[in-house]
Amino acid sequence: MAEEPSAKRHHAETSDKRSNLVDINVPGEKCEYTTTLKGVELHGNETLEIVCTSVPEKADEVISRLWMKLGGRVRRIVGVGVHYTNKDEPPQKAAVLQLCVDELCLVYHIAAATKWPKRLTEMLQHEKSVTFAGFSIESDKEKLKLSGMEINPNKFIDIQRKWRAPYTGKEYDSLTDVAASVIHPFYKGMKKKINTQEDYKLWGTSKLPGNLIEYAGVDAYATYKSWFMIDYITDGWEYLKEREAENFYDRPYCPFTG
């Protein structure tokens, strides 16, 4: 785990860079910090890089890297996760926002930050070719809005309403159910390193401990990868239906056609 203390900047320089940034009105222990975890183990040989920060300029750097990973893809999917301030101190707001593409995850510690990253709004409100995938998103949308940030509702899909993990016997599946069924059984145990009762009270504090940063990153990756797989499978099913509608499979087989 590499912790990167924010370098001290000249006051005038900092003011110039941040004068056009929007203030964050979320209660919390304000502190500038960045913690980077590399080689976080996922299923198989997959690993994840997680950058947790409360520094808007650092977040913008990671968002630029996320955009680079999306460039030129047919499926431009961003996994989204949101964790909240302590429910014992209402109203609850978004304390942490996670964004994940492939093996890179940004964990923006809203409760520790004073400004929103400049590129964050541009990304979350993007109108073209980007799908934001979350899980049970209605509460996430509410808490983000209370915190001063929104994701384009036309591009924000709820996996819980789009897919059911078979044979769970549950009325509503959890992310662990879905991820374990469409990615790998590894994700059944993704909460083992945290205490969901006590650790969940820490999202609004500074600095986030390593186990929570790791959980936040894996949570966002599981969301991203789950929808990536589901979307791929769904496209294949729709393509099959189109072929059936054209009676494609009733035609005589010719080995010399493509």
Round to whole Å and give the CA distance between 187 and 41. 11
Instruction: Specify if 254 maps to a domain.
Output: no
Q: What is the pLDDT of residues 37-57, one digit of tens each?
A: 999 999 999 999 999 999 999
Q: Tell me which DSSP letter residue 249 carries.
A: G
pLDDT of amino acid 126: 86
Top mean pLDDT of 64-73, 137-146, 194-203, 241-250 is at 137-146
Among 77-81, 186-190, 216-220, 243-247, the minimum mean pLDDT is found in: 243-247
Range of the domain at 79: 34-244
Instruction: Specify if 42 maps to a domain.
Output: yes
Round to whole Å and give the CA distance between 51 and 21. 21
How would you classify the pairing of strands 131-134 and 77-84?
A: parallel
SS3 250: helix
Biggest CA–CA distance in the chain, Å, is 76
Instruction: Specify if 16 maps to a domain.
Output: no
CATH of the domain at 197: 3.30.420.10
Q: What is the pLDDT of residues 225-242, one digit of tens each?
A: 999 999 988 877 666 666
pLDDT of amino acid 5: 47
Number of domains forming the structure of the chain: 1
The answer to whether the peptide bond before residue 207 is cis (omega within 30 degrees of 0) is: yes
Q: Tell me which DSSP letter residue 6 carries.
A: P
